[in-house]
């Protein structure tokens, strides 16, 4: 298990990720799936979209 806010580190070391917001899981799955479910093409942008509450997301 790795805890990080550095998305380049996450992309290099993780096969699956979980994004938390206020202690609750808002995404769980692959990096590719997290980016595909967002309107962005990069994990860092997708992460901010999930955590800033701008997007519609569901716990996968």
DSSP letter, residue 23: T
Per residue in 11-60, pLDDT tens? Answer: 999 999 999 999 999 999 999 999 999 999 999 999 999 998 655 555 44
Q: What is the pLDDT of residue 59?
A: 47
Q: What is the pLDDT of residue 53?
A: 64
Q: How many other CB atoms are found less than 10 A from the CB of residue 19?
A: 19
Q: What is the pLDDT of residue 54?
A: 57
Encoding tokens for residue 57? 């997301």
Q: Which phi and psi (to 5°) does residue 29 adopt?
A: 165, -160
Q: Are 43 and 31 in contact (CB under 8 A)?
A: yes
Confidence of residue 7 (pLDDT cuts 50, 70, 90): very high
């Amino acid at each position: 298990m790795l805890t990080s806010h550095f998305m380049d580190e996450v992309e290099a070391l993780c096969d699956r990720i979980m994004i938390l917001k206020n202690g609750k899981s808002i995404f769980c799955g692959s990096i590719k799936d997290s980016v595909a479910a967002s309107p962005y093409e990069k994990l860092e942008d997708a992460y901010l979209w999930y955590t800033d509450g701008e997007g519609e997301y569901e716990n996968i």
